[in-house]
Structure 1
Amino acid sequence: MKVENKQHRFLQNLTEILLVSTKLGVSSFGGPIAHLGYFHEEYVRRRKWLDEKSYADLVALCQFLPGPASSQVGIGIGVIRGGLLGGVLAFLGFTVPSVLALIVFALILKGLHIDDAGWIHGLKIVAVAVVAHAIIGMGEKLTPDLKRKMIALFAIVTTLIWQSAFTQVGIILLSGLVGYLMFKESEAETKANFRVPISRRFAILCLLLFFGLLLILPLAREANSSNWVAMFDSFYRAGSLVFGGGHVVLPLLERELVPSGYISEEAFLAGYGAAQAVPGPLFTFAAYIGAVINGWQGGLLATIAIFLPAFLLIFGTLPFWDTLRRNPKIRGALMGVNAAVVGILIAAFYDPIWTSSILAPIDFAFAAILFSMLVYWKLPPWIIVLTGAIGGSLIQFLH
């Protein structure tokens, strides 16, 4: 009887995780910072699944890791609440609604000639306003002093002048080393305060798999001419190497996929604009790109590939987080990496976003209006996107 009750409670628990995370997945607009606010309200204040300190500890861990921070926080809460299966269900509930919406959008666009569409140009101008807002917020938080501003400046200059597949990885590694040396006396955090139902042995296996795939996939891509292997490699690498959330994945994917002809720049930036209009994590932008390249199957493959590193890293580091975060040298390296992320994002803001979107004075004027609607009037993102599409059509009509 006790075993049956225990199983019933476990299933009830998992069902609740899926339902609550799905509710968040269809209502959480506004990007990663907003998502963390929604999570706090739902999981900490309303349901009390974990306390304030534990939530802060979990957020700190996910900011430390590359990948989609809000998705990793959601996975972590699911793990703490319902083990590994709880983590998977929390992810599915939060992510699947926006994945489906973006795959459908991609399939609709695939049959249309969108290169000259005015509303597409409007969505590209929306991307200007959204990324400008992200840069201001991240810059204030991640580059508060002159040392970190200089690291960001180094990242801007290097990214724009030396454009290759290895540039961003090199900048992140070098900035981490500089941060390690420069900020090694940074103040340590207090002790973590939550229990994790993951063994250290399983965690190590996840970390080995994470690094193993990072090394093996490029080799498999060279040895195999399959489009599917190339796609999986591109998206897995993007999910593995992006610090700072969804906005930073844009330049990595753009430089990986547009020059090689997988997707046109117009279609790429249109999808980025559309991704602002759906709830859930911005990394689901990968589902749109995958669907443009290889139909709905491509959308699913791209989604799995870009989010797989997030799972492996959160499963692999949760049991060790307390030891890691109290090491001031590790924290110093992270400070350097975060400053470089700001620089990489500013470089991406110029090219491709600004150079392909702001083509005339009226475009800049419209971008300023959208930015004000987003930042000062604090209107919901879907209104900004709708205004962008309508405004882009009007601008084309006026021309």
Structure 2
Amino acid sequence: MNSPAISDRDRPLHRGNPWEVFLAFLKLGLTSFGGPVAHLGYFRTEFVERRRWLDDRSYSDLVALCQFLPGPASSQVGMALGMGRAGWWGSLAAWLGFTLPSALALILFAYGVTEYRGLAESGWVHGLKVVAVAIVAQAVWGMAKTLCPDRLRAGLAVLAALLTLALPSAAAQVGAIVACGLLGRWLIKLPTLGALQHHDFGISRKV
């Protein structure tokens, strides 16, 4: 008796190794400037568009989940990407590769500020602050086209932004997350149970 054909979705996912994950995140750790929002944009470009470790929908779901958790979303997304690619060691490799360069640079900068009091107020540091605004804006615009593809979701994003701007506090941020989550649950059409069962939250099968 012939065994039933195995669909592409039932085939084992392609796995990487911790060294591959470390090198991928080290590259980003050495070249990615800006804060957590900018990092999420860099992650999408590198791991969704270029390397195709996962698809856009899976990445959007992962970002939404990490935004709901306390702590820096970019670190959580990075470790989750590493875990999805190479397990627990992949998660550690992603954290080390992405965090180590900035940690070393911050230590060196702290020593520099201690030795040279005017370093923090120098013109080149203020120039870096201006560039950071442009980097974050570019990252937000890049993700907005994917996360807010229609008027309804764009409206929820604007509503959340207005709420956090009007009430700049941690409570307002939590309130915006909860409110938009409830509104999205009520207004946005959810996929069927069958679609959820076949939805791939893992790594792309492309080698």
Match of 1:250 in 2: 40
Once the 2 structures are TM-superposed, how far is the Cα of residue 261 of structure 1 from its aligned partner?
Answer: 0.7
How do residues 279-290 of structure 1 correspond to structure 2 at under 5 angstroms?
279-285=70-76, 286-290=78-82
Structure 2 gaps, min length 5: 1-15, 192-207
TM-score using structure 2 length? 0.68
Once the 2 structures are TM-superposed, how far is the Cα of residue 271 of structure 1 from its aligned partner?
Answer: 2.3
Match of 1:236 in 2: 26
Find 2:181's aligned residue among 367, 376, 389.
Answer: 389
Find 1:331's aligned residue among 102, 116, 122.
Answer: 122
Match of 1:363 in 2: 153
Query: Do structure 1's residue 375 and structure 2's residue 161 form an aligned pair?
Result: no
Q: Distance in 2 between matches of 1:296 and 1:382?
A: 29
Query: Do structure 1's residue 341 and structure 2's residue 114 form an aligned pair?
Result: no
Cα deviation digits, residues 23-63 of structure 1 (max 9, x gap): xxxxxxxxxxxxxxxxxxxxxxxxxxxxxxxxxxxxxxxxx
Alpha-carbon distance change, 350 to 319 in structure 1, aligned in 2, over 3 angstroms:
closer
Find 2:64's aligned residue among 260, 273, 285.
Answer: 273
Alpha-carbon distance change, 310 to 279 in structure 1, aligned in 2, over 3 angstroms:
same
- Sequence identity, in percent? 19
Alpha-carbon distance change, 291 to 257 in structure 1, aligned in 2, over 3 angstroms:
same
Which one has a larger percent helix, Structure 1 or Structure 2?
A: 1
Q: Distance in 1 between matches of 2:190 and 2:22?
A: 42
TM-score using structure 1 length? 0.38
Cα deviation digits, residues 53-104 of structure 1 (max 9, x gap): xxxxxxxxxxxxxxxxxxxxxxxxxxxxxxxxxxxxxxxxxxxxxxxxxxxx
SS at match of 1:258: helix
CA RMSD of aligned residues (A): 2.9
CA contact (8 A) 2:22 2:97 kept: yes
Q: Which amino acid aligns with 1:341?
A: A
Match of 1:350 in 2: 141
Total equivalences in the alignment: 172
Cα deviation digits, residues 311-358 of structure 1 (max 9, x gap): 322343433323445259x9322222222221122122221x211122
SS at match of 1:240: helix
Alpha-carbon distance change, 292 to 321 in structure 1, aligned in 2, over 3 angstroms:
same
